Amino acid sequence: MKPGILVIFGASGDLTYRKLIPSLYDLFCQGQLPDCFCVLGVARSEMSDESFREKMREGVKSFSLKESKNTEKLDEFLKLLHYLPIDTAVKEEYEKVKIKLEALDGQCKTGGNYLFYLSTPPSLYETIPTFLSAYKLNKQENGVYRRLIIEKPFGYDIETAVHLNKVLRDHFHEDQIYRIDHYLGKETVQNMLVLRFGNGIFEPLWNRNYIHHVEITAAESIGVEDRGGYYDNSGAMRDMIQNHLLQLVGFTAMEPPSIVEATSIRNEVLKVFQALRPIKEEEVDQYVIRGQYGSSHIRGEYKEGYREEKGVPEDSRTETFVAMKFFIDNWRWGGVPFYLRTGKRLPTRVTEIVIHFKETPHRLFADPTKPVNPNNQLVIRIQPDEGILMKFGLKMPGAGFEVNTVNMDFHYSNLSDVYVPSAYERLLLDAMMGDPTLYIRGDAVEAAWNFVNPIQKAWKNNPDIPVYGYPAGTWGPENADNLISGATHTWRYPCKNLADDGVYCEL
């Protein structure tokens, strides 16, 4: 791997403290950082190298997955960190960045290779690349690399996303831009490709002939915590569906790429997004249910409702829950419904993709006195407890042919000595190596916004579309159940409601 400097804008923020630096430390412990490497943290706060390092020491101790009690190792790592306070909104300040980087190049032998990481509020996403370019810090000449990693949100809607892409591409070539979606860094998400395209048994069934429907859930038990201000302007559709969940749809539904390589894989994801059947503004209430958590008691403890959270207006109509149904209009998926569900303050934290297979053509073993056995399911558990679960019917021992559902359950944790790296570890390493496979291309961002936009518009323009309430600790508004119709089909509930005195209500 080439040597290089990782320049983190927004270095005094939470992401740097909780994710970026601890992940770099984990890479360092595994010997995966380049031999010549250092980090330059850039932010407004006044800090010396030393105070930055001490702050990051705490971050590593709290959030690194690798042993951090080894003080010597940690001291050695912290020496790689440097800090520069500047006002990132002022063009002339970037001269300081340039001078500092040249000095570090001399000191760390990093050869002018820079990876800029924008971990700042989105209001700086246009400013920083523009000013970097003003000082030619974007120029890849004589074999050096200059790359830009950018965190979501990539725009607020289709118009702003197109505009942001344009500004970024005015200064950086698309190949230099790495748009991060940390879900793609999750081990089990990448494993989707191997599960599907590295096995003879699944792929032949992976289509409309054998699959009844696909269900993807990303549930969180936490509320909005201290992010009320940000979240209220975003909501679950922008925060989770437009990016993370649609990426999961992309990996679940894509055609086999011709080779395992960035362009090939990203082309296939884009094709899925282009085939999403648009939900028209006037159809939104039939296909999309939004909800907002209200207060409740969970195991006797009072949990605040969303509108009571810090930074959230008392009359907010921002959704903290979305359930939706849609179709992918292509050869493989014609007629197969896809269901997505995400929310805050649900009973548990779980992200999973469930492939529901069709039932047998004839119910040979059905007992008319019993409920119909659920169809075969393949559950891909993204988190926690990464793994894969296959559910199928088996004869119960004894007389007759009583069929019960049994599980074949693989847990990554069963593999001894296997370390599952964090998403940021994987993604940072890929960006340093110049591999954008697990980063989102600009055209895919726009295609995802195109799908989401009419829904956002309908919600904004039509106050009659309800925001259903749900008590914290439950699986969201009951209306979400109506999306999945048919006696034998419901959402999969990995655990029961936790709220003990909640009532469903409509806001």
Cα–Cα distance, 231 to 292 (Å, whole number): 12
**Site for ligand BG6, residues 164 to 183, rule: CB under 6 A:** 182
Closer to ligand BG6 by Cβ: residue 131 or 231: 231
SS3 6: strand
Closer to ligand BG6 by Cβ: residue 215 or 239: 239
Nearest to 319 by CA among 102, 469, 130, 124: 469
**Site for ligand BG6, residues 260 to 279, rule: CB under 6 A:** none
**Site for ligand BG6, residues 28 to 57, rule: CB under 6 A:** none
Closest contact distance (angstroms) between CB of 467 and ligand BG6 is 18
Closest contact distance (angstroms) between CB of 169 and ligand BG6 is 24
Closer to ligand BG6 by Cβ: residue 121 or 198: 121
Q: Is 244 a catalytic residue?
A: yes
Nearest to 161 by CA among 439, 437, 443: 443
Q: What is the 3-state secondary structure (H, E, C) of 363-388?
A: CCCCCCCCCCCCCCEEEEEEECCCEE
Nearest to 235 by CA among 471, 460, 503, 494: 460
Total residues in contact with ligand BG6, by rule CB under 6 A: 4
Closest contact distance (angstroms) between CB of 353 and ligand BG6 is 13
**Rama region for 385: left / alpha / beta (φ>0; ψ in -120 to 50; rest):** left
**Rama region for 179: left / alpha / beta (φ>0; ψ in -120 to 50; rest):** beta
Residue whose Cβ sits closest to ligand BG6: 239
E strand residue ranges, 243-326: 288-294, 296-298, 301-303, 321-326
Decide if residue 232 touches ligand BG6 (CB under 6 A).
no
Closest contact distance (angstroms) between CB of 297 and ligand BG6 is 23
Closest contact distance (angstroms) between CB of 442 and ligand BG6 is 19
Cα–Cα distance, 438 to 265 (Å, whole number): 9
Closest contact distance (angstroms) between CB of 220 and ligand BG6 is 5
E strand residue ranges, 384-485: 387-395, 403-411, 468-471
**Site for ligand BG6, residues 297 to 356, rule: CB under 6 A:** 351
Cα–Cα distance, 213 to 340 (Å, whole number): 11
Decide if residue 239 touches ligand BG6 (CB under 6 A).
yes
Nearest 5°: the CA angle 299, 303, 306 is 145
Select from 105, 220, 268, 281 the one that contacts ligand BG6 (CB under 6 A).
Answer: 220
Q: Which of 82, 182, 212, 244 is catalytic?
A: 244
CA of 286: how far to CAs of 25, 156, 245, in Å? 48, 24, 20
Closer to ligand BG6 by Cβ: residue 182 or 381: 182
Closer to ligand BG6 by Cβ: residue 220 or 268: 220
Closest contact distance (angstroms) between CB of 289 and ligand BG6 is 19
Query: What H or E segment, with its residue span, contains residue 194?
Result: helix 187-197
CA of 322: how far to CAs of 183, 340, 379, in Å? 18, 8, 21
Closer to ligand BG6 by Cβ: residue 126 or 187: 187
CA of 110: how far to CAs of 5, 38, 114, in Å? 6, 8, 8
Measured between its terminal Cα atoms, the distance across the chain in Å is 54
Closest contact distance (angstroms) between CB of 494 and ligand BG6 is 15
Q: Which x/- pattern, by CB under 6 A, does the window 373-412 give for ligand BG6?
A: ----------------------------------------
Give 478's DSSP letter.
G
Closer to ligand BG6 by Cβ: residue 15 or 36: 15
Closer to ligand BG6 by Cβ: residue 100 or 186: 186
**Site for ligand BG6, residues 182 to 201, rule: CB under 6 A:** 182
Q: Would you name the residues annotated as active-site residues?
A: 244
List contacts with ligand BG6 (CB under 6 A). 182, 220, 239, 351
